[in-house]
């Protein structure tokens, strides 16, 4: 340690004397550690670590990107069934299948034009180039409401495989020098579409940041004979690991809770991954994103794949090592960063790594794959079954018709939203409408104070939608299909369905009377079915209703005694 006089006072600057990646652990007795600087040798910049005295590391939260407004989850051009409205498709996974899982399409608003003639040899003195390049979008799921962290490890791995396959298609283009794969999650992170997607930008130049990164890696290699990325493994910075990868908070992290995912073995090019490694990467990425979501309140984030240029001379293979950088958007960029290039990080990397390492990700209630459910074998379109020109005399006729068609096809139709347009003094001019959906639409909302669900939920974000509206003259109702697709397997019978088997108030009174008369549950169920041939109640629901009635009687008796 050395002491300098700054502004008339003595300040201590703690500098690492062993390795530029060694961790600095503040004295546990020091509740107010002094700010210090660390040199990030990969980006060749200093980072100021000035801890926020008003917050603990675990108190940092982002502005959640969970969409709690159901009306904003309507299908978009990236959704299945809307392929004709989207930009031209490059390829899909599975290839040439109607029920696709991933699509790669041209970006609707590309940063560069793919139609400008290629320029293979650009004079170094040129400062203006034609805006040639390739800008693609990778649609990660056919379902609008799915986020990347909700996919299975294999499905996320397939997204990485799609990146790799697209890069291999672009490699032969001699004018393309560098390919940047990135994802913007959340509007404040730059995402213009809420449907989960990533982007691929193929550039005719090697960007300045990339050149600087490679130059710094080269300098470290010539000084030490080692790859600087291979040297950054440190137990205080590690978060998780898998067979082929590990995640950590970098020693000189520029942003709070910044995370890198790094290949264990030296690898200069991302697109050299094979399928097995991609699926392994998918599992670690899923775990990392879930930890960020649970600990930091599902904040906006960006991830970037930092790889090597396509057409190097081969000398960079020894020191270039690709990695993924994930940056949660927790603090704004200020004039300090813009003016000096020195980032100010209020969370020490060791503290951030410890918090993320100790996060126990609960079972997400909407995650069917972790609790024994298997994903659907295909996505089925029921548009034809609900397409009709019939005018229904009343709203109730329309509802009964839709529910009957749903039962015939193995799912339950429910009312998602109903709007009568306002009445009397509160009439505000909205259109009278009713939105119908599948009982498995939407998602279970995990409240902060609630315990993690040990059981599953039927909610899986099913995109199926019907819209019912009165005809123009007000005499009857009509229906149109908004989205006819279901993203789950339908059931063979509706018996036992939570919605289809619900008991009416009259039926609950009958169950109560028969229970008081000591009638067995199976005989109660038989009585209900004799009274209504279309009754879909199961014996389990009879037991549940009996238990609810029993609790109600106990609560009423307790109140009577107290009074």
Residue-by-residue DSSP string for 249-293: --TT-SSTT-EEEEESS--S-GGG--HHHHHHHHHHHHHHHHHHH
User: Would you place residue 372 in the very low, low, confident or very high pLDDT band (cuts 50, 70, 90)?
Assistant: very low
Strand, coil or helix: 54: coil
In this prediction, residue 134 has a pLDDT band, given cuts at 50, 70 and 90, of very high
d(C-alpha 375, C-alpha 17), whole Å: 52
The pTM for the full model equals 0.66
Residue 341: closest CA among 209, 182, 190: 209
Which residue in the list 185, 195, 197, 306 is annotated as catalytic?
Answer: 197
Band the pLDDT of 522: cuts 50, 70, 90: confident
Mean of pLDDT values over 315-341? 88
pLDDT value at 368 more than 50: no
**Start-to-end C-alpha separation, the chain:** 74
Least confident of 169-183, 468-482, 530-544: 530-544
Q: What angle do CA 357, 362, 363 make, to 5 degrees?
A: 135
Distance from C-alpha of 221 to C-alpha of 228, rounded to nearest angstrom: 7
C-beta pairs of 544-547 under 8 Å, 24+ apart in sequence:
545/503, 545/508, 545/511, 546/511, 546/515, 546/521
Beta-strand runs (E) in 420-514:
433-438, 465-470, 477-483, 485-486
**Which residue reads 């898998």 in tokens?**
242
pLDDT number for residue 499: 57
58 or 91, greater pLDDT: 91
Q: What angle do CA 279, 150, 77 make, to 5 degrees?
A: 100
Distance CA 555, CA 492 (A): 39
pLDDT of 343 higher than 70: yes
Q: pLDDT (tens digit, 9 = 90+) per residue, 204-232?
A: 999 999 999 999 999 999 999 999 998 88
| pLDDT value at residue 105 | 95
Among 9-18, 287-296, 412-421, 497-506, whose mean pLDDT is lowest? 9-18
Average pLDDT, the chain: 79
Active site residue 197: yes
CB atoms within 10 A of CB 537: 22
At residue 272, the pLDDT reads 92
Rounded alpha-carbon distances, angstroms, from residue 303 to 3, 183, 184, 300: 39, 5, 7, 10
Q: Where does the pLDDT of residue 373 fall: very low under 50, low under 70, confident under 90, or very high at 90 and above?
A: very low
Of the ranges 262-276, 306-320, 364-378, which one carries the lowest mean pLDDT score? 364-378
Q: In which order are the strands placed within the sheet that holds 245-248?
A: 89-93, 102-106, 134-139, 197-203, 178-185, 301-306, 323-328, 259-263, 245-248, 238-241
Could you tell me if 316 and 214 are in contact, meaning their C-beta atoms sit under 8 angstroms apart?
Answer: yes
What is the phi/psi pair of residue 477, to 5°? -125, 150
- Cβ neighbours of residue 335 under 8 Å, at least 6 residues apart? none
Residues with Cβ within 8 Å of residue 125, at least 6 apart in sequence: none
- Tell me the CA distances in angstroms from 180 to 203, 246, 290, 341, 502, one per residue in order: 8, 21, 24, 22, 53
Provide the pLDDT for residue 282: 95
485, β-bridge pairs = 381
CB 160 within 8 A of CB 278: yes
Which tens digit of pLDDT belongs to each residue from 6-16? 333 333 333 34
Q: What is the DSSP letter of 113?
A: B
Residue 3: count other Cβ atoms within 10 Å of its Cβ: 9
């Amino acid at each position: 340690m050395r002491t300098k006089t700054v502004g008339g006072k003595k300040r201590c600057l703690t500098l690492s004397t062993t390795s530029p990646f060694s961790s600095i652990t503040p004295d546990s007795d020091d509740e107010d550690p002094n700010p210090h600087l660390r040199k990030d040798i990969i980006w060749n910049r200093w980072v100021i670590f000035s801890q926020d005295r008003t917050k603990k590391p675990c108190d940092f939260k982002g502005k959640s990107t969970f969409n709690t407004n159901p009306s904003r989850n309507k299908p978009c051009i990236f959704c299945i069934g809307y392929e004709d409205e989207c930009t031209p498709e490059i390829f899909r996974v599975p290839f040439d299948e109607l029920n696709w899982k991933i699509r790669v399409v041209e970006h609707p608003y590309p940063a560069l034009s793919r139609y400008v003639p290629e320029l293979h040899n650009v004079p170094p003195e040129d400062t203006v180039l034609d805006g040639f390049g390739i800008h693609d979008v990778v649609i990660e799921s056919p379902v609008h409401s799915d986020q990347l962290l909700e996919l299975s490890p294999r499905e996320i791995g397939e997204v990485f495989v799609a990146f790799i396959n697209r890069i291999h298609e672009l490699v032969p283009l001699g004018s393309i020098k560098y390919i940047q794969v990135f994802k913007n999650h959340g509007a404040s992170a730059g995402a213009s579409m809420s449907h989960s997607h990533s982007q691929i930008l193929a550039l005719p130049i090697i960007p300045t940041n990339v050149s600087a990164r490679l130059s710094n890696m080269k300098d470290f290699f010539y000084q030490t004979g080692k790859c600087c990325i291979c040297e950054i493994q440190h137990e205080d910075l590690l978060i998780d690991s898998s067979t082929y990868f590990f995640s950590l908070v970098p020693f000189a992290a520029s942003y709070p809770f910044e995370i890198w995912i790094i290949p264990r073995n030296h690898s200069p090019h991302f697109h050299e991954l094979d399928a097995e490694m991609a699926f392994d990467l998918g599992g670690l990425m899923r775990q990392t994103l879930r930890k960020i979501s649970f600990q930091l309140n599902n904040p906006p984030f960006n991830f970037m794949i930092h790889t090597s240029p396509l057409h190097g001379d081969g000398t960079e293979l020894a020191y270039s090592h690709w990695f993924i950088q994930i940056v949660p958007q927790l603090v704004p960029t200020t004039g300090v960063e813009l003016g000096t290039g020195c980032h100010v990080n209020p969370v020490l990397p060791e503290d951030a790594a410890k918090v993320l390492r100790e996060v126990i990700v609960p079972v997400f209630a909407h995650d069917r794959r972790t609790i024994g459910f298997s994903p659907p074998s295909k996505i089925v379109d029921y548009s034809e079954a609900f397409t009709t020109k019939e005018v229904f005399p009343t709203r109730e006729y329309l509802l009964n018709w839709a529910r009957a068609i749903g039962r015939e096809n193995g799912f339950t139709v429910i009312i998602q939203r109903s709007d009568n347009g306002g009445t009397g003094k509160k009439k505000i001019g909205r259109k009278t409408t009713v939105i119908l959906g599948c009982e498995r639409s939407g998602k279970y909302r995990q409240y902060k104070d609630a315990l993690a669900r040990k059981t599953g939920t039927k909610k899986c974000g099913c995109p199926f939608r019907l819209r019912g509206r009165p005809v123009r003259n007000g005499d009857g109702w009509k229906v149109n299909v908004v989205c006819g697709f279901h993203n789950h397997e339908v059931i063979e019978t509706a018996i036992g369905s939570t919605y289809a088997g619900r008991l009416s108030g009259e039926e609950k009174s009958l169950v109560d009377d028969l229970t008081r008369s000591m009638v067995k549950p199976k005989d109660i169920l038989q009585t209900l079915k004799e009274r209504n041939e279309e009754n879909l109640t199961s014996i389990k629901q009879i037991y549940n209703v009996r238990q609810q009635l029993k609790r109600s009687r106990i609560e009423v008796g307790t109140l009577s005694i107290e009074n």
